[in-house]
């Protein structure tokens, strides 16, 4: 695809290529020109940086999705059409399939992070699409195959299986590893050997080293900084998402929105609970007063309600003897709650027994009444 046909006039051909292919891709993809024209009208390739290459990969891969389209492939078709070439003669449809396999392989190969299941899917996608790219390209024209294609067919799937990402074996990966090595060596002893010593006199060098020593972090400060950087690195995707939402205005003010609502909820809940408790207590007392007026003994429901609450939340045995405090806080809460439930199950039969006129508590044995009180 390094040569394009002619529509009749070489000057017109150059204008069509420049306008409908090079300028179109450059403007819409936001990349530099991926090819140029010499004085004779021949095409020559231009280099793209990493971000531009990934933009091209993403653009071509979109055409594989249902209803998707590619700026690059559409511009190529339009250019051939303007040059008065038929689709079957330009082979754009065949090259579309070839480049789609190439783009999908590159997408899978450039993934750096993922779960084991996700990386297994990416490995399979890379191996299948990389080999299909080479096969389709060879079927169209075997003379277009180069050394890189055969490496992509045979060696790279194996390397990807071992290492996990093409980024780890490219210049970007090499620089990242070198940076990690430098960071390990420089910060392994709190940055004491960071930087080169200046060419100074003995006196000035001693002053310089004393100043440098004074600026060193304490072991606790250094450890805190390292842990903070590790935390920030682990959660950087969430922080970037939050920053993006802030720029879009899709955020809420915690102090003016969430805090007042939470305080309103807790306040109204406390008011409701207190009012409901007073309501039921007064209702129970009124019912007892009406029974007394009719010459019947009072049932004292309000007394039973208070005693139920008291009985449930009274200290249990493990709290009284202190044995529960030998466990961590979550285990303490669990044991206390279980003990309350067990005691409540035993007391539930006594709580609702008939109450005599001189009632001071539920009926039962002396031991049961003592445990209930």
Instruction: Give pLDDT tens digits for 216-232.
Output: 778 788 778 878 888 88
The pLDDT assigned to 133 comes to 92
Q: What is the mean pLDDT of residues 351-367?
A: 47
Q: What is the mean pLDDT of residues 49-65?
A: 82
The model's pTM is 0.44
Query: Is 362 a residue whose pLDDT tops 50?
Result: no
223: Cα separation from own chain's centroid: 25
Contact 291, 297 (CB under 8 A): yes
**Confidence band for 129, pLDDT divided at 50, 70 and 90:** very high
Instruction: Give pLDDT tens digits for 71-102.
Output: 888 888 888 888 877 766 778 888 888 989 99
> Which residues are within 8 A (CB) of 317 and not within 5 positions of it... i.e. 6 or more apart?
339
Q: Which residue has the tokens 């993934």?
A: 111
Query: Is 173 a residue whose pLDDT tops 60?
Result: yes
**Confidence band for 134, pLDDT divided at 50, 70 and 90:** very high
Q: How far is the C-alpha of 110 from the C-alpha of 169, rounded, in Å? A: 10
- SS3 track for the chain: CCCCCCCCCHHHHHHHHHHHHHHHHHHHHCCCCCEEECCCCCEEECCCCHHHHHHHHHHHHHCCCCCCCCHHHHHHHHHHHHCCCCHHHHCHHHHHHHHHHHHHHHHHHCCCCCCHHHHHHHHHHHHHHHHHHHHHHHHHCHHHCCHHHHHHHHHHHHHHHHHCCHHHHCHHHHHHHHHHHHHHHHHCCCCCCCCCCCCCCHHHHHHHHHHHHHHCCCHHHHHHHHHHHHHHHHCHHHHHHHHHHHHHCCCCCHHHHHHHHHHHHHHHHHHHHHHHHHHHHHHHHHHHHHHHHCCCCCCCHHHHHHHHHHHHHCCCHHHHCCHHHHCCHHHHHHHHHHHHHHHHHHHHHHHCCCCCCCCCCCCCCHHHHHHHC
């Amino acid at each position: 695809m390094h040569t394009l046909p002619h529509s009749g006039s070489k000057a017109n051909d150059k204008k069509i290529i420049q306008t409908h292919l090079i300028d179109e891709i450059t403007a819409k993809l936001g990349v530099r020109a991926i090819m140029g024209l010499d004085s004779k009208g021949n095409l020559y390739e231009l280099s793209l940086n990493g971000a531009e290459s990934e933009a091209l990969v993403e653009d071509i891969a979109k055409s594989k999705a249902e209803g998707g389209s590619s700026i690059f492939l559409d511009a190529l078709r339009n250019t051939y059409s303007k040059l008065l070439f038929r689709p079957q003669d330009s082979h754009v449809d065949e090259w579309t399939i070839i480049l789609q396999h190439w783009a999908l392989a590159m997408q899978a190969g450039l993934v750096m992070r993922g779960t084991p299941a996700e990386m297994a899917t990416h490995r399979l996608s890379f191996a299948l699409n990389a080999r299909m790219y080479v096969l389709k390209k060879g079927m169209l024209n075997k003379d277009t195959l180069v050394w890189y294609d055969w490496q992509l067919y045979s060696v790279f799937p194996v390397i990807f299986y071992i290492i996990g990402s093409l980024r780890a074996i490219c210049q970007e990966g090499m620089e990242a590893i070198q940076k990690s090595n430098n960071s390990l060596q420089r910060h392994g002893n709190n940055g004491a050997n960071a930087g080169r010593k200046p060419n100074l006199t003995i006196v000035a060098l001693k002053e310089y080293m004393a100043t440098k020593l004074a600026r060193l972090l304490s072991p606790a400060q250094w450890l805190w900084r390292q842990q903070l950087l590790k935390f920030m690195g682990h959660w950087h995707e969430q922080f970037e998402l939050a920053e993006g939402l802030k720029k879009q205005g899709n955020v809420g003010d915690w102090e003016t929105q969430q805090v007042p609502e939470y305080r309103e909820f807790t306040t109204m809940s406390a008011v409701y609970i207190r009012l409901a408790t007073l309501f039921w207590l007064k209702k129970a007392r009124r019912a007892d007063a009406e029974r007394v007026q009719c010459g019947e003994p009072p049932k004292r429901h309000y007394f039973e309600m208070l005693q139920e609450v008291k009985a449930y939340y009274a200290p249990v045995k493990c709290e009284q003897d202190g044995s529960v405090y030998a466990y961590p806080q979550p285990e303490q809460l669990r044991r206390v709650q279980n003990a309350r439930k067990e005691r409540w199950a035993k007391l539930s039969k006594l709580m609702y027994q008939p109450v005599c006129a001189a009632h001071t508590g539920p009926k039962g044995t002396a031991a049961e009444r003592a445990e209930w009180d």
